[in-house]
């Protein structure tokens, strides 16, 4: 990190960035849980722990599911129309990190983040991780400006704020730090590594106050076997090709997203359609944590996984096209897990012996790493999300390698480098 500013001041700013991002991420997560519980009427005595969102919405009467999703469309459409119409132009985390004067408009950024949390809580299929990163970066922008840091130091703090926000909301201190280094800054300079790890560790530990030391997914006791290793080698490129297709679809949807008065109309129609689907498939509601968990638990048949995969990709793309905002981290993770259940089920027909959940863990990581073009971050996130055994690093890393190489080969074959990857990672990381 540049040292034209006194070291003591940099240490204080670094600590405050982690503290503020942790409090912001924790508050947004608690708000999301509160809205989920009130909207769908489950487990009203506790905002954390207890009944899962999938269990809660599955027990909710079908008509209530539809009404909540339709209302979500109204809030999304009118809310983002107001942000675009009356707010200052939004500045993404990437733009703030890359800019000469890394500042984000407070009003528009906060409204943008809150809308993401509210709509995801009400069943939007997009992710929740962008909001805490934006709040963490916004706090870091203000703090760096107030402290008189240099532009280079300010950009580092903005990136660290985003990583700390991610670490806080998902309890992934290592993943948040590696995201800063691999995706946002593209460096492993010693002083920057220290800042990234410090802010993410502080952010995650502060969030424990309200969220506890939560683990995102709990896995059965899977054993490594030769079938899984060979499957990872063979299927890795398929996950890369699928991730490339998903990125093309979501990038095109964002590029052509509704604006102006079409935004509220398309948003209402889109979420009403999702509401109808959720009547029959409650697993589709929310960012995808439910289907991912079912995949890891060996709780999905091949047929149901295939149906959920097609429907999930469809509503994720349609929501972006309708003008809704949100990340693609958990949606991508769920898509990879569902695809892995299908491919693993077919594989077991020829070479049986591996639980579908083991395939799902490996496939989810491979798909996410290729989709975001951040293999190291995706691998670390998967470790922290599931806390899988050390042995599973072997098939996961092999599948990740094949997926990433296939993604890049397909991108280059069309005369384009995977240049959308950094922005895809920033928008989609993905939560």
Q: What is the pLDDT along the chain (431 residues), one digit of tens a residue?
A: 555 567 888 999 999 999 999 999 999 999 999 999 999 988 766 666 556 889 889 999 999 999 999 999 999 999 999 999 998 998 889 888 887 777 889 999 999 999 999 999 999 999 999 999 999 999 999 999 899 999 899 999 999 999 999 999 999 999 999 999 999 999 899 899 999 999 999 999 999 999 888 888 988 888 899 999 999 999 999 999 999 999 999 999 999 999 999 999 999 999 999 999 999 999 999 999 999 999 999 899 999 999 999 999 999 999 999 999 999 999 999 999 999 999 999 999 999 989 999 999 999 999 999 999 999 999 999 999 999 888 899 999 999 999 999 999 998 887 654 444 444 544 444 33
The CA distance from 39 to 53, in Å, is 11
Same domain, 37 and 161: yes
The CA distance from 361 to 376, in Å, is 16
Same domain, 170 and 253: no
Domain boundary among 186, 211, 236: 211
The CA distance from 99 to 77, in Å, is 30
Domain boundary among 165, 187, 211: 211
**Domain with 56 in it: what CATH number?**
1.10.3080.10
The total domain count for the chain is: 2
Same domain, 203 and 245: no
Same domain, 199 and 275: no
Domain membership flag for residue 220 = no
Domain membership flag for residue 121 = yes
Same domain, 15 and 143: yes
Query: What's the pLDDT at 28?
Result: 96
Helix axes 7-40, 130-147, angle to 10 degrees: 150
Q: Residue 287 sits in which domain range?
A: 226-428
Same domain, 148 and 258: no
Same domain, 281 and 197: no
Domain membership flag for residue 2 = no
Query: What's the pLDDT at 221?
Result: 85
Query: What's the pLDDT at 421?
Result: 46
Same domain, 342 and 247: yes
Three-state SS across 289-323? HHHHHHHHCCCCCHHHHHHHHHHHHHHHHHHHHCC
Domain membership flag for residue 216 = no
Same domain, 51 and 133: yes
Domain membership flag for residue 219 = no
Query: What's the pLDDT at 343?
Result: 97
Same domain, 63 and 162: yes
Same domain, 288 and 397: yes
Domain membership flag for residue 218 = no
Domain membership flag for residue 393 = yes
Three-state SS across the chain? CCCCCCHHHHHHHHHHHHHHHHHHHHHHHHHHHHHHHHHHCCCCCCCCCCCCHHHHHHCCCHHHHHHHHHHHHHHHHHHHHHHHHHCCCCCCHHHHHHCCCCCCCHHHHHHHHHHHHHHHHCCCCCECCHHHHHHHHHHHHHHHHHHCCCHHHHHHHHHHHHHHHHHHHHCCHHHHHHHHHHHHHCCCCHHHHHHHHHHHHHHHHHHHHHHCCCCCCCCCCCCCCHHHHHHHHHHHHHHHHHHHHHHHHHHHHHHCCCCCCHHHHHHHHHHHHHHHHHHHCHHHCCCCHHHHHHHHCCCCCHHHHHHHHHHHHHHHHHHHHCCCCCECHHHHHHHHHHHHHHHHHHHHHHCCCCCHHHHHHHHHHHHHHHHHCCHHHHHHHHHHHHCCCHHHHHHHHHHHHHHHHHHHHHHHHCCCCCCHHHHHHHHHCCC
CB atoms within 10 A of CB 288: 29
Domain membership flag for residue 1 = no
Same domain, 395 and 321: yes
Q: What are phi and psi of 325, to 5 degrees?
A: -125, 155
Domain boundary among 159, 186, 211: 211
Query: What's the pLDDT at 417?
Result: 46
Nearest to 234 by CA among 351, 369, 375, 357: 351
């Amino acid at each position: 990190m540049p040292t034209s500013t006194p070291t003591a001041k940099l240490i204080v700013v670094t600590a405050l960035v982690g503290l503020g991002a942790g409090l912001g991420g924790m508050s947004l997560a608690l708000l999301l849980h509160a809205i989920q519980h009130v909207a769908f009427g489950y487990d009203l005595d506790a905002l954390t722990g207890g009944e899962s969102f999938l269990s809660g919405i599955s027990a909710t009467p079908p008509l209530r599911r539809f009404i909540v999703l339709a209302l979500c469309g109204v809030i999304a459409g009118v809310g983002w129309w107001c942000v675009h119409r009356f707010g200052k132009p939004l500045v993404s985390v990437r733009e703030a990190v890359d800019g000469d004067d890394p500042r984000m408009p407070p009003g528009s950024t906060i409204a943008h983040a809150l809308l993401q949390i509210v709509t995801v809580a009400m069943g939007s299929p997009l992710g929740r991780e962008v909001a805490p990163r934006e709040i963490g970066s916004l706090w870091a922008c203000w703090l760096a400006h107030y402290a008189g840091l240099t532009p280079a130091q300010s950009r580092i703090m903005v990136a660290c704020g985003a990583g700390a926000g991610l670490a806080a909301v998902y309890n992934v201190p290592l993943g948040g730090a590696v995201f800063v280094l691999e995706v946002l800054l593209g460096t492993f300079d010693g002083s920057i590594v220290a800042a990234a790890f410090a802010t993410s560790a502080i952010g995650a530990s502060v969030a424990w106050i309200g969220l506890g030391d939560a683990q995102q997914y709990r896995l059965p006791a899977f054993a490594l076997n030769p079938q899984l290793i060979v499957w990872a080698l063979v299927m890795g490129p398929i996950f890369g090709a699928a991730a490339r297709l998903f990125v093309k679809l979501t990038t095109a949807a964002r590029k052509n997203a509704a604006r102006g008065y079409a935004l509220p109309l398309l948003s209402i129609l889109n979420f009403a359609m999702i509401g109808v689907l959720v009547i029959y498939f409650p697993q589709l509601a929310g960012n995808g944590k439910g289907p991912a968990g079912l995949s890891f638990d060996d709780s999905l048949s091949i047929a149901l996984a295939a149906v959920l995969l097609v429907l999930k990709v469809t509503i994720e793309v349609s929501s972006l096209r309708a003008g809704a905002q949100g990340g693609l981290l958990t949606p991508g993770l769920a898509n990879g897990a569902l695809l892995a259940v299908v491919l693993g089920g077919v594989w077991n027909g020829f070479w049986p012996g591996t639980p579908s959940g083991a395939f799902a863990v490996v496939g989810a990581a491979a798909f996410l790493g290729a989709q975001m073009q951040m293999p190291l971050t995706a691998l670390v996130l998967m470790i922290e999300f599931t806390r899988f055994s050390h042995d599973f690093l072997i098939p996961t890393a092999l599948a990740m390698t094949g997926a990433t190489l296939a993604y890049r080969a397909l991108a280059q074959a069309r005369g384009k480098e995977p240049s959308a990857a950094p922005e895809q990672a920033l928008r989609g990381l993905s939560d």
